[in-house]
Amino acid sequence: MEAVIHAIAGGALIGIAAAGLLLINGRVAGISGIFAGALRPAATPWNLAFIGGLVAAGILARLAGFAAIPDTHLEPPLILAAAGLLVGIGTRIGNGCTSGHGVCGLSNLSPRSLVATLVFMAVAGLTVFIARHVV
């Protein structure tokens, strides 16, 4: 039951943050686009503040006693780096990430975001199946 409460609270916070960024700054909370903007030489302060807030939230949650990755094991660092690189490439190819398409795009009734989210979820399911039952 505790996991359900954490999931609901996390989802609500993501929704509030996405709505707040759209209302206050007129920007969609697509993390890959925000992160790419923060890496540019002419990064705007809000890009850096948003990424800093993501990092700070994780640190504060850990200090409050929440496990970053509960009841799981970590893969070797090289595998994690390769996975992160592939996710980054995928977000550039798909012109957005799960937060941009799945949270913000779907709430704006974007057909493109619906297709992108369906593809994300299908590939994720297939990946888990292959990793757990085939490999």
Nearest to 31 by CA among 78, 87, 81, 114: 87
Q: What is the pLDDT of residue 86?
A: 87
pLDDT tens-digit readout, 85-132 = 888 888 888 788 887 888 888 888 999 999 989 998 998 899 899 988
User: Length of the chain, please?
Assistant: 135
pLDDT tens-digit readout, 22-32 = 898 888 888 88
- Give the model's confidence band at 69: pLDDT under 50 very low, under 70 low, under 90 confident, else very high: low
- Mean pLDDT for the chain? 85
Percent of the chain's residues with pLDDT above 70: 94
Q: What integer is the mean pLDDT of 13-29?
A: 87
Q: Rounded CA gap, 27 and 49, in Å?
A: 14
For CA atoms 25, 28, 31, 36, the dihedral sign is negative
Are the CB atoms for 75 and 5 separated by under 8 Å? no
Q: To which residue do tokens 């390769």 refer? A: 82
